[in-house]
Amino acid sequence: MTKKTLKISDFQRLLAHEHLLDPMLRTIKSHPAWKDGFDLTKSDNLLQDCPPFCYILRQGESSYQFFLSYKEETQKVKHVSFKIELTIRKWSYRNGTGIIGDDLDEFIPLVMHCKKSQCHPMV
């Protein structure tokens, strides 16, 4: 008798942990830096006269994709995409360069390459 290996699809894995996703979405959308309905141009205009490391959070192309838009030390406005992803047994924030974080307020300075005390949400 051969043993059958049960494979759980990615979709089944997502469903099993979906209840953990809601708090992460609420954390983003209730953050002081959250700007609903902002696009790239509106974000650029808002951050243009801000000091370095001032930032906003905004919606991306899908339900689980977002942008961290911020003013660099060089005075340039930068837009970094990040997603909420399911890693092994937990949801995490992840950007395209491999930075991963479980806590949004710890994740933001990592992406912006600054100290947490330097980051200031645009309110």
Dist. CA 93–CA 97, nearest whole Å: 12
The model carries a pTM of 0.80
Question: Domain residues of the chain, as ranges?
Answer: 21-121
Dist. CA 96–CA 42, nearest whole Å: 23
Q: What is the dihedral of CA 88, 19, 98, 77, to 10 degrees?
A: -170
Q: Are 22 and 30 in contact (CB under 8 A)?
A: no
Dist. CA 66–CA 14, nearest whole Å: 19
* CATH topology (fold) of 21-121: SHC Adaptor Protein (3.30.505)
- Inform me whether the pLDDT recorded for 110 exceeds 90: yes
11-69 residue pLDDT tens: 455 555 555 567 888 899 999 999 999 999 999 999 999 999 999 999 998 888 999 99
- pLDDT at residue number 62: 86
